[in-house]
Amino acid sequence: MIGQGRLAAWGIGLAALVALPFVYRDPYHLHILVLILIWSFAYTSWSMMGRFGLVSLGHGGFMGIGAYVTALLWNHLGLSPWIGIPISMVAAGALALIVGYPCFRFRITGHYFVLVTLALSGIVLQVITATRDYTGGSLGYTPNRTSGNKLLALQFDDKTIWYLIALGVWLFGIVVWHWVDRSMARYALEAISEDEDAAAAAGVDVTAEKLKITLLSALMTALAGAIYCQYQMFITPDTVSGIAVSLQMVFAAIVGGLFVSLGPTVGAIITILLAESLRIGFGTKAVGWDNLVYGVLLVLFIIFLPKGILGSLLDRLKPQRKVPRAHEQEAVQIARPGT
């Protein structure tokens, strides 16, 4: 699918991105870039499910598990994040399977799926707050600074190292996105999002296909949470879990474009730059303004530009492209009415 020219463009772009911190070392700008990359990875993870009509508001929960489990294992058991991160991912994946399997088995779709996953992120947020003896509750939590080997503790003071780590993780997300995009699973899932009965009749194992993509998406989201925690060294229930974070993921993915690989990345760039410039421009007076602008944009986007900025741009650039897939034709046919 990727032609010679596009491959070359990707290569040059990547080389430039890798070289960037060695040329340009402004810590503040690097910090913003790292944040953009980490959140892009989280949004990409969400969009892996979201693009197939599985709109989950539970990803705040997975991200919270990734961040908190890793930090708790490090502080209480002294377990290196190198082991803690896989454990946290397994925990998030197990939760995704426990909730996902009955959901898909009993065909909970549309509104109902959204609300069940909403309950999931509610649970994770409340559990983190309730176990305040261990997690610090809503005051937040800080992984202990290591005195020994920094690599083992996955704690680095140098922003350049973090930039490269975040870049690698982000690239991994994009590669997985393309891998799914080119696999048979994509066709199966698209068929499912069009019509579950027809897909099942055509021999698609609906439950298994949905579970696979949900598991993948949850694992990646937990990884994003853990990386975010290791980078920021401070997490609160509200910044890594809960409904607000889930909605933020949905918002960024939709603004950037759900159906293109770089869409969530564009969404992350726009939202984070917006928040940062408002913060710098207005200082403490800006509290709330960024979300106000987000909210208005989200509503406007869903009404007028449901394919997102990048998605619409690409369509504009290549009007004679292949016939659009059925679910891209009108508004985002994320879920079917009446299901």
Residues in touch with another protein (CB under 8 A): 53, 55, 99, 102-103, 106-108, 110-112, 114-116, 118-120, 122-123, 126-127, 129-130, 243-244, 247, 250-251, 254, 287-292, 294-299, 302-303, 306, 331-337
Question: Of 85 and 206, which CB lies nearer to another protein in the complex structure?
Answer: 206
Please, which residue, 44 or 117, has the CB nearer to another protein? 117
> CA torsion sign, 90 to 95 to 98 to 102?
negative
Sign of CA dihedral 303, 307, 310, 314: negative
CB of 48 to another protein, least distance (A): 16
Smallest separation (angstroms) from another protein to the CB of 270: 15
Nearer to another protein, 319 or 338 (CB): 338
What is the SS3 assignment for the chain?
Answer: CCCHHHHHHHHHHHHHHHHHHHHCCCHHHHHHHHHHHHHHHHHHHHHHHHCCCCCCCCHHHHHHHHHHHHHHHHHHHCCCHHHHHHHHHHHHHHHHHHHHHHHHHCCCCHHHHHHHHHHHHHHHHHHHHHCHHHHCHHHCECCCCCCCCHHHHCCCCCHHHHHHHHHHHHHHHHHHHHHHHHCHHHHHHHHHHHCHHHHHHCCCCHHHHHHHHHHHHHHHHHHHHHHHHHHHCCECHHHHCCHHHHHHHHHHHHHHCCCCCCHHHHHHHHHHHHHHHHHHHHHHHHCCHHHHHHHHHHHHHHHHCCCHHHHHHHHHHCCCCCCCCHHHCCCCCCCCCCC
CB of 148 to another protein, least distance (A): 36
Q: How far is the CB of 124 from another protein (least distance, A)?
A: 9
Which CB atom, from 170 or from 259, has the smaller least distance to another protein? Answer: 259
CB of 66 to another protein, least distance (A): 19
Query: Least distance from C-beta 294 to another protein, angstroms?
Result: 5
- Name the residue nearer to another protein (CB basis): 73 or 120: 120
Least distance in angstroms from the C-beta of 241 to another protein: 13
Query: Minimum CB separation from another protein for residue 300, in Å?
Result: 8
Nearer to another protein, 55 or 92 (CB): 55
Cβ closest to another protein, residue 228 vs residue 294: 294
- CB-wise, 13 or 102, nearer to another protein? 102
Q: How many CB atoms lie within 10 A of CB 289?
A: 15
Structure tokens at 214: 């949900």
- Quote the CA–CA distance of 81 and 327 in Å, as a whole number: 41
